Amino acid sequence: MAVTEFALIDHYFARIGATRPDVVLGVGDDGALLAPPTGGELVSASRTLHPDPASGGQGPAALARGLAAGVLTDIALARARPAWATLALSLPAVDESWLEGFAGGLDEVLGAADVGLVGGDTTRGPWRVTLGAHGQRPAGKPAPRRAWAGDLVYVSGELGAQGLALLDRYGEIQLPRGARDLAHHALDHPRPPLEALLALADASAVATLEDGLAPALARLLGDHGLGATLYADSLPAAPELLPFLDWVGGRDFLLSGSSGLTLAMVVTADDQAAFEGRCAGLGLACHWVGLVEHQPGVRCDA
Ligand code: ADP
Ligand code: MG
């Protein structure tokens, strides 16, 4: 991409996301020069995807939003505030409409999170996109809280919409219009729960529900030989989507299907009132959905 590389970078990627005073040199130089505050800690994470524009899957803007929301959430899961991002892009040929869409989606999510795109690399090759993110947190944070039997399990929003959208998108089910729009919106416009994580993750064990609630909890709790019982009637789902759960295994789908960047949070019972108060203060619709127990595995009470 030798001839057009600089023009391409300048056109699409030189002004993505926030302009930050701690970016001394950003896109356009040999390396980014950043000025983190002294005495803090840096957290880095990255995510890669292999776009397949011929597949009829998510369009470039939605791909970018999902990638950016995911990697910023990874930083916040480590209890750091994301600040900078880098983009490594490999594409077989310059595809302007794809680049336009991708850059737009990236700008939307990075800008809303006050994250600046500070550099990257662009090469000709098979489709691949890697987004790195870097964030800051105060030094000396104690280890995150682990879960104990008797703790309460909360989720930060409704379950299963993203999983239904994926099945619909890949033709396994065909949702009717209204339900379809709702599910696809949840999948294509993920909102990274950054403020929630920064406010709540010091006092709770937290995971995202990209792979579903049951696997997320199994990972969180299994490390300590614990399990959980979930209250089937308390599992929140959009009423518009409830009729279609029967197509995909019923309410179990709320445990096994993707719920995107919705969070599972495990808090101590003593902290319940304070936790719910903090959620209300954040405008976060938290639902108490289960109880941590000594018996390994994740099960439903009905
Ligand atoms: P070259 O490969 O010709 O040396 P560079 O890779 O150094 O060029 O890229 C030039 C500048 O553009 C650098 O600041 C680099 O970080 C930035 N850059 C390259 N590709 C991207 C991209 N996809 N997104 C953001 N910045 C990029
Ligand atoms: Mg390069």
Task: List average pLDDT for each run of 10 residues in the chain, which is 302 residues long.
Answer: 70 94 92 93 97 88 98 98 98 93 98 98 96 96 92 98 96 96 98 96 94 96 93 96 95 96 97 96 96 96 84
Ligand nearest to the CA of 8: 1
Terminus-to-terminus CA distance in the chain, angstroms? Answer: 58
Q: What pLDDT, in 10s, does the model give residues 197-230? A: 999 998 899 999 999 999 999 999 988 899 999 9
- Select from 24, 122, 134 the residue to mutate for testing ligand 1; criterion: most ligand atoms less than 8 Å from CB: 122
Tokens of 64: 């970018």
Report pTM. Answer: 0.95
Q: How far is the CA of 292 from the centre of ligand 1 (A)?
A: 48
Q: What pLDDT, in 10s, does the model give residues 164-176? A: 999 999 999 999 9
Ligand 1: atom nearest CA of 122 is 20
Q: How far apart are CA 108 and CA 110, in angstroms?
A: 6
**Residue-level pLDDT at 302:** 76
The residue type of 31 is: G
Which protein residue has the closest C-alpha to ligand 1 atom 18? 120
H/E run at residue 266: strand 263-267
**Residue-level pLDDT at 2:** 46
Ligand nearest to the CA of 119: 1
Ligand nearest to the CA of 64: 1
Q: How far apart are CA 124 and CA 84, in angstroms?
A: 24
**Residue-level pLDDT at 3:** 47
Ligand 1: atom nearest CA of 121 is 20
Task: Show the ligand 1 pocket: residues with CB < 6 angstroms.
Answer: 5, 9, 13, 27-30, 87, 89, 117, 119-122
**Residue-level pLDDT at 210:** 98
Residue 214 near residue 298 (C-beta atoms within 8 A):
yes
**Residue-level pLDDT at 197:** 97
Radius of gyration for the alpha carbons in the chain, expressed in angstroms and rounded: 20
Q: How far is the CA of 93 from the centre of ligand 2 (A)?
A: 15
Which protein residue has the closest C-alpha to ligand 1 atom 10? 28
